Structure 1
Amino acid sequence: MSAVTAPPGAPTLTGSGVTVRLPRFDDGGRLVGTEVRELNAPGPWRRPDGPLRSRVAFAAAHVVPQVGAENVPGAPAVVDWDSTLAYRHSIWSHGLGVADAMDTAQRGMGLDWAATQELVRRSAAEAASVGGSIACGAGTDQLDPAAVQPGEEGLAAVVDAYREQVRVVQESGARVIVMASRALAKVARSAEDYARVYDAVLAEADSPVILHWLGTMFDPALAGYWGSDSVDTATATFLDLITAHQDKVDGVKVSLLDAQHEIGLRRALAALEGSPVRLYTGDDFNYPELIAGDEQGYSDALLGIFAAVYPAASTALQAFDAALDGEQGAAARGHAILASTEKLGRHIFAAPTYYYKTGVAFLSWLNGFQPGFQLVGGLHSGRSVAHLVELARLADDCGMLLAPDTAAARLQALLTVNGADS
């Protein structure tokens, strides 16, 4: 087990007795050496005794494909429902909600609308069976953005597509997350066009929704969202929309990887009169400080990284709960647990950030939650072997290899197949 400098107060890890030989690569991807590493035992993660109280937290979960399906770019998604739903049950058992049918589930990157509808219905039914919290994305990805033209007809097509998806989510019983739309980004010509579309979509909502602002690091096709490339101008439009529909907005998920912007927006939301609007952090780089918060408040969470580290995230949130009950040092402990996973999060979400799903699925595979290291649409090829090996190291550093024997065997198999086991 290699020495790791952990944040003060982070969980103490112990060796598992399981060793693995890992390669080291130079910046050009050449194999330059190996190390024999004793893997850590899993961190001291625990499931909560009751509902989490201090923060509202969702893990944005991925989809596991059938291993024998095509799983190549352009092929229809064929989902391994047993593995996909079992993963969600594990998240619920740790007290977190599941955010489903979002970008982590490869919306617009391999998960087609037919499979999305089935995912929403199946996941919502499973959530209801265990009393788990679930929110699902409603977007416009049944439209081909290339076929939608600017103008009234294009805007109407976007509204109709949103309405169809909102109905599917609402009929399933899940909370609606209104996702950013590539088609709208193409056809809108002003902030007013965005306002018109969202006015119409929110009018369809039968309960408060979560609005999602997804940055271009996650999806370059969303450049200029809210009608401007200026973040400040776009934020003003976003706030105007929320203010106009405050009774229809539970919260906003902001995925811009800009902690200071999020804090400013969080404070602006807190200053609104009327029903409260939550800030669900979507910042997979800076989530420890944003969830811990400051003297003026904190962010709730709707995070892809929580799908990878949900046992640690749950344990951290339980510490924040203990702080509510007056336990000294509990808030600092919760922050330290989250901070111990931050390097892993930054690596999984490193540029090109839209391939973070590959890392989430890779860790799921190492931990034995899916039979093969695959994603629909061939996205499992989105990261290099060197990236994946470093991901395994960082997961081990924070106690997130939950079954060291399985992880070691699967790492060896990956390295052998890729010619990196010498």
Structure 2
Amino acid sequence: MRGLTLLAADGTTSEADLAEAPGYARPDGALRSRVAYAAAHVVPKTSGDNTPGRPADVDWDATLAFRRHAYAWGLGVADAMDTAQRNMGLDAAATRELIARSAEVAREEGGSVVVGVNTDHIDDEHISVDAVIDAYKSQLHFTEEQGAGPVLMASRHLARAAQSADDYRRVYREVLGAATTPVVLHWLGTAFDPQLVGYFGSDDWRLASDVLLEIIEENPDRVAGVKMSLLDAASEVAVRDRLPEGVRMFTGDDFNYVGLIGGAEVPAATQPVSASATPRSHSDALLGAFAALTTSASAAIQALDAGDPDRYLEILGPTEALSRQIFAAPTFYYKTGVAFMSWLNGHQTAFQMVGGLHSARSLPHLSRIVELANAARALEQPELAAERWHAMLRLNGVIA
């Protein structure tokens, strides 16, 4: 069996056996037991000026081909999210084009697409609460016009402008009131974006979750779900158990998704459950990790569809260590690992990212991703992945 060269942090190399291709099969249709979205990334033109501060120069063929890949495996696509480098290289014009193009592909493929709605087209860092509302509404209306489902992302502008929890209640009340289709609310933790400290009015997630749930309860017909990305399973379960009937919990926990999606018991922090809430046995998924693990995620949920939770754990369990490496601190550079996996798996011709972000992780960090992806059988074409990785090591003088 061919060897796989790995690089340690001290500069030494070692060899591992290259695992066989997993051989997972595509589903006949949409997945049934869970709603699962892969938060897809963007692929830049290899010849583009992918340097910090330059407008995004997107390879639309490769970017949209990845979305078709996700649909072919039964997953939905969450687009124009932070995975797509919003606030980290994807400018406003490219974001709008991505939303329009992705929605068109979803219609062509019969897939489900939701996209991020934010305030990031406003250049001024400090704007009023009223301006935040207007900015949200502008992106919301554009998204609805494209026919995509809105995900109301956490806004840096709102985090700076809000003086109290009442400002959050007001902003979300007015924006949700303008929505013509149910939206997903996104609670993004500071591991992903330190500028969102104190979101929903408090640094304490328990107090912040009270505000979030009040917003949902005031707008029961306008909220389809909540995506929580706090990297804290107990907080997600606590909020999940308090959601009104019909509102889904979409896990954004790239550290603990196996148990949250599968339905394993996770200790929840003590929180009262409202009379209108129905405790849930599992979360659905809206994950950046699933952009790196598309075939594994699909195969695992197919196992749940077939009533085989042991097979689910066998497939998806080993991927969690890989995801934890991709999302290791500083977590906001996880996008580099997602694009790296895309390159290894043959979904883009070069390991390039908008804004030069492909340089955000070290070679030993990437080597650990290779090692864990190999162990988790997340390399769709192992020989190709090994060839590309070894070429990268040769380019950097690690091996001859």
When the two structures are superposed, what TM-score results if normalisation uses the length of structure 1?
0.89
- Aligned residue-pair number: 386
Q: Which amino acid aligns with 2:19?
A: N
**Residue 279 of structure 1 pairs with residue 249 of structure 2:** yes
**Residue 191 of structure 1 pairs with residue 162 of structure 2:** no
**Residue 60 of structure 1 pairs with residue 77 of structure 2:** no
Conserved 8 A contact 2:7-2:363: no
Counterpart residue number, 2:156: 182
Conserved 8 A contact 2:4-2:16: yes
Q: Which amino acid aligns with 1:278?
A: R
One of 5, 8, 25 as aligned partner of 1:46 = 25
Q: Which amino acid aligns with 2:365?
A: H
Deviation at residue 145 of structure 1 after TM alignment:
5.0
Counterpart residue number, 2:290: 306
Deviation at residue 336 of structure 1 after TM alignment:
2.9
Quote the Cα distance in structure 1 between the aligned partners of 2:237 and 2:313.
17
Alignment of 1:31-110 (within 5 A): 31-32=11-12, 34-110=13-89
Conserved 8 A contact 1:101-1:116: yes
Counterpart residue number, 1:119: 98
Q: Which amino acid aligns with 1:374?
A: Q
Conserved 8 A contact 2:6-2:368: no
One of 369, 374, 396 as aligned partner of 1:396 = 374
Conserved 8 A contact 2:38-2:291: yes
Question: Which segments of 5 or more consecutive residues in structure 2 lack a partner in the other structure?
Answer: 266-279
Moved more, 97-106 or 397-406: 397-406
Quote the Cα distance in structure 1 between the aligned partners of 2:323 and 2:124.
31
Deviation at residue 403 of structure 1 after TM alignment:
1.4
**Residue 334 of structure 1 pairs with residue 304 of structure 2:** no
Moved more, 157-166 or 250-259: 157-166
Q: Which amino acid aligns with 1:249?
A: V
Counterpart residue number, 2:240: 266
Deviation string for 1:109-165 (max 9, x for gaps)?
00011000000000110010010110000101112352x24xxxx111111111111
Conserved 8 A contact 1:137-1:177: yes
Q: Which amino acid aligns with 1:285?
A: F
Deviation at residue 294 of structure 1 after TM alignment:
4.5
**Residue 23 of structure 1 pairs with residue 34 of structure 2:** no
Deviation at residue 391 of structure 1 after TM alignment:
0.4
Counterpart residue number, 1:381: 359
Question: In 2 relative to 1, CA 294–408 (structure 1 residues): closer, same or farther, beyond 3 Å?
Answer: closer
**Residue 411 of structure 1 pairs with residue 395 of structure 2:** no
Alignment of 1:355-374 (within 5 A): 355-374=333-352
Quote the Cα distance in structure 2 between the aligned partners of 1:177 and 1:332.
32
Deviation string for 1:185-216 (max 9, x for gaps)?
00111111111111111112111110000000
Conserved 8 A contact 1:138-1:176: yes
Conserved 8 A contact 1:180-1:212: yes
Q: Which amino acid aligns with 1:97?
A: G
Quote the Cα distance in structure 2 between the aligned partners of 1:135 and 1:257.
21
Counterpart residue number, 1:347: 325
Moved more, 134-143 or 293-302: 293-302
Question: Which segments of 5 or more consecutive residues in structure 1 lack a partner in the other structure?
Answer: 1-16, 324-329
Deviation at residue 407 of structure 1 after TM alignment:
1.1
Counterpart residue number, 1:242: 216
When the two structures are superposed, what TM-score results if normalisation uses the length of structure 2?
0.94
Quote the Cα distance in structure 2 between the aligned partners of 1:131 and 1:287.
26
Q: Which amino acid aligns with 1:105?
A: A
Deviation string for 1:71-128 (max 9, x for gaps)?
1111000100000000111111000000000000011000011000000000110010
Secondary structure of the corresponding residue to residue 371 of structure 1: coil
Conserved 8 A contact 1:280-1:301: yes
Counterpart residue number, 1:315: 299
Quote the Cα distance in structure 2 between the aligned partners of 1:64 and 1:260.
34
Moved more, 402-411 or 92-101: 402-411
Quote the Cα distance in structure 2 between the aligned partners of 1:405 and 1:53.
32
One of 271, 292, 301 as aligned partner of 2:262 = 292
**Residue 138 of structure 1 pairs with residue 108 of structure 2:** no
Deviation string for 1:24-59 (max 9, x for gaps)?
332xxxx12x22333112213121112211010000
Secondary structure of the corresponding residue to residue 388 of structure 1: helix
RMSD value over aligned CA atoms? 1.3
**Residue 218 of structure 1 pairs with residue 192 of structure 2:** yes
Deviation at residue 401 of structure 1 after TM alignment:
1.3
Deviation string for 1:215-235 (max 9, x for gaps)?
000000000000111111101
